[in-house]
Structure 1
């Protein structure tokens, strides 16, 4: 009698379960992480429409779907929103550094970008902000991916990074007889405004500037300021008028300080920020986007891939200090993002930074939010990415286990879904 009653109950439940029709695919799993609350939701059925956006989230035990809906069954897996890397260079290779890059034709880097885009997607990063590439290569990649000609993440491209003559975003590796002013070099606020308009005209969706020197530029101080407050303010004002955000490469304290005052949206690297500047960032709600994993790779490979000794010496000076700054910024409550500078170390290894962020002061949930909801907010795309929610793109990453207990699980996702479709991965995980 008990078996009969249970069978009748199942039959009634099945017959009364709602049937979902407004979807082309449904993804089921053991649970998903609501990054806003930090809590898991069990037995999800996530429906995605023809446009790649989520149309509904239900309890898989209480809902039916027709045979015309593609079912992606990720049984036993934990789902997270598709990950977001806020600082990549898809058309760069860590394996080719320094003057070795001059051995390759210009369009080599575009071709390499296609492979790097696929590696990045396979690693679970369904959205990236590409902060600097020559020849509008990242715009070209975005167009090819959006047109489904090649596979890769959603790209927010910056194209050329704006910098000063002789600065980090200029080319200081050639003699005066081969001098050529870079397309993105500016020397006044008026130049800076015009350059923003030019970049916007040809497809840039975010503006990247070089406020200070850098590790891989030759002949400059890694922390020395290179754009004036007036130039940075002109860039920020012009970009914001065009509804674009601005990212500032800035290692030195003075450059970080002035970038915050200028209204720059995100500070990249932020290596030498003082406690006072950290408090200023907190006050202005300026994001810090700090690449604290790649120091391991740079120091491990040394000059073997062509990196100049000058650059290696800079990294030795700045790497630990950057991690200590990261720790102080987290403790102070500065809003933080997930950005790896992939291209300085191999693409596809982006997830390795999560463990470093936890090692230097974040909880696993904070690190995950930095690569999901916080990144979406900094991009101005909270209605599109960064959460598993109705209206958002059906971008998800599946993890075997609990990433809130072991964040290193994010280094090797079990599966990746983009726009409601399972990604056929070519990169070994």
Structure 2
């Protein structure tokens, strides 16, 4: 064999070996992707009206191309090319509306851990258009398991993002903490951790992060100086920090600078009961005659707007009667905050009835429209783009853009005409995985007690 022929054969063998190695690597990567629960393949959703999670006007006759778990392209359907369609599964979504998957920014699925109930709630959510939930503290062991199984697509569920909680030592007599720390001592575990002026705060925040939590929740019975230090330390570690608007004895002003604060009516209670020193729901003051124009409320709204902190209004917890802050006042304050440019997120902090086949976050959005004067589009932004920002995940989802996860919900009817049309769900897509509403066989949920 001549030298030239030998070299050609050598290069051919090298090329074949490289090709085999490449095929093997691709096969191994595909196996790994499947093991990780990653959606694979290209899908084109064609002919849909796009509501992208921003203030932009809806765009009709659009196409979204999804490659594996990400959005590859967003373009007018008429501009689709044969090359783009080659090898893709094409879904005709003509006449439908698509928006980012909804996020319920305030749930509690493991205060009193009940895995079957949590899975039933999560299943109802994902088939109802919810692709993410923010669990605001419970047993992190249970939440980590739910979060993992949701991420690996082992259960039909939104992605589960959860908090590790810190509070003053006296709070951990609360029976809820005992249940959420069974087998351990509440106040000594990293997801339910007692802090005081002797605590090494960098370590406390690092421990919270080590649970797999997305953020740290500051809850109760802490002085203002310590609340401010915790917020500063969490931010230094690039860890979202979520608080009650008022932690007690700290004031609402001590929580400014947190990523988000919860419960809009806490400012009303602060105005009417400024001397309250410990967390608790009993003995609420009268709110008669109080509205958002009160100077004390206006002063706080101005400070909140300046801080950039997001408001988790939780209108669902306020009722139209009873001794507590009522829904009219809660809506009035939320309206004033929204007008001041404060970002609002849609958290429910309540379970839906067992008989309702749709997610409770739908009702929160209806309340934002009815009581706080939001347009349907603004309410949708509260449950999508703003919610993703509160999680620190705005680069990953919350709007329908190229490069972000394919988290979206398809509706038969226009939600911008009537926010109740969120219940016209046809299909939910989470990280490229499809959950067709027609496949959901609703069974009333059992009674669950926290």
Q: TM-score range by the shorter chain?
A: 0.7 to 0.9
CA distance in 2, matches of 1:49, 1:180: 46
The equivalent position to 1:144 in structure 2, one of 127, 141, 149, is 149
- The residue number in structure 2 matching 1:223 is none
Q: CA-to-partner distance for each residue in 1:208-235, whole Å, 9 max, x for gaps?
A: 1214xxxxxxxxxxxxxx2212221232
The equivalent position to 2:408 in structure 1, one of 385, 393, 396, is 396
Q: CA-to-partner distance for each residue in 1:286-345, whole Å, 9 max, x for gaps?
A: 11111102435x97xxxxxxxxxxxxx66x345554333222222332221111114476
Asked if 1:328 corresponds to 2:340, the answer is no
1:132, distance to aligned residue in structure 2 (A) = 0.9
The equivalent position to 1:196 in structure 2, one of 205, 226, 229, is 205
Asked if 1:58 corresponds to 2:70, the answer is no
The equivalent position to 2:425 in structure 1, one of 391, 413, 421, is 413
Unaligned runs of 5+ in 2: 1-39, 179-183, 268-296, 444-450
CA distance in 2, matches of 1:421, 1:140: 20
Q: CA-to-partner distance for each residue in 1:349-397, whole Å, 9 max, x for gaps?
A: 2111111101122122211111112222232222211111100111111
> Are the aligned partners of 1:123 and 1:349 in contact in 2 as well (CA < 8 Å)?
no
Distance 1:278 1:118, change over 3 A: same
Distance 1:168 1:363, change over 3 A: farther
Which stretch shows the higher mean deviation, 375-384 or 246-255?
Answer: 246-255
The equivalent position to 1:31 in structure 2, one of 38, 49, 74, is 49
1:55, distance to aligned residue in structure 2 (A) = 0.8
Q: TM-score, length-normalised on structure 1?
A: 0.75
The equivalent position to 2:216 in structure 1, one of 202, 207, 210, is 207
Which stretch shows the higher mean deviation, 330-339 or 246-255?
Answer: 246-255
Asked if 1:255 corresponds to 2:251, the answer is yes
- The residue number in structure 1 matching 2:259 is 265
- The residue number in structure 2 matching 1:83 is 102
Q: CA-to-partner distance for each residue in 1:52-104, whole Å, 9 max, x for gaps?
A: 00111222233235463222332211111111222122336xxxxxxxx6xxx
- The residue number in structure 1 matching 2:368 is 357
- The residue number in structure 1 matching 2:30 is none
CA distance in 2, matches of 1:366, 1:168: 38
CA distance in 2, matches of 1:155, 1:378: 14
CA distance in 1, matches of 2:307, 2:145: 34
Unaligned runs of 5+ in 1: 1-21, 93-100, 102-107, 212-225, 300-312
1:270, distance to aligned residue in structure 2 (A) = 2.7
Q: CA-to-partner distance for each residue in 1:271-295, whole Å, 9 max, x for gaps?
A: 1322211110001111111110243
> Are the aligned partners of 2:177 and 2:186 in contact in 1 as well (CA < 8 Å)?
no
Give 1 or 2 for the bigger CA radius of gyration.
2
SS at match of 1:293: helix
1:112, distance to aligned residue in structure 2 (A) = 2.5
> Are the aligned partners of 1:90 and 1:342 in contact in 2 as well (CA < 8 Å)?
no
1:133, distance to aligned residue in structure 2 (A) = 1.4
1:169, distance to aligned residue in structure 2 (A) = 8.7
- The residue number in structure 2 matching 1:119 is 124
SS at match of 2:95: strand
> Are the aligned partners of 2:106 and 2:133 in contact in 1 as well (CA < 8 Å)?
yes
Q: CA-to-partner distance for each residue in 1:240-291, whole Å, 9 max, x for gaps?
A: 222111111235896322111xx31101113132221111000111111111
Matches within 5 A, 1:80-229: 80-91=99-110, 109-158=114-163, 160-167=164-171, 170-171=174-175, 181-182=186-187, 183=189, 184-191=192-199, 193=201, 194-211=203-220, 226-229=221-224
SS at match of 2:218: strand
- The residue number in structure 2 matching 1:339 is 347
CA distance in 1, matches of 2:175, 2:103: 29
The equivalent position to 1:238 in structure 2, one of 211, 229, 233, is 233
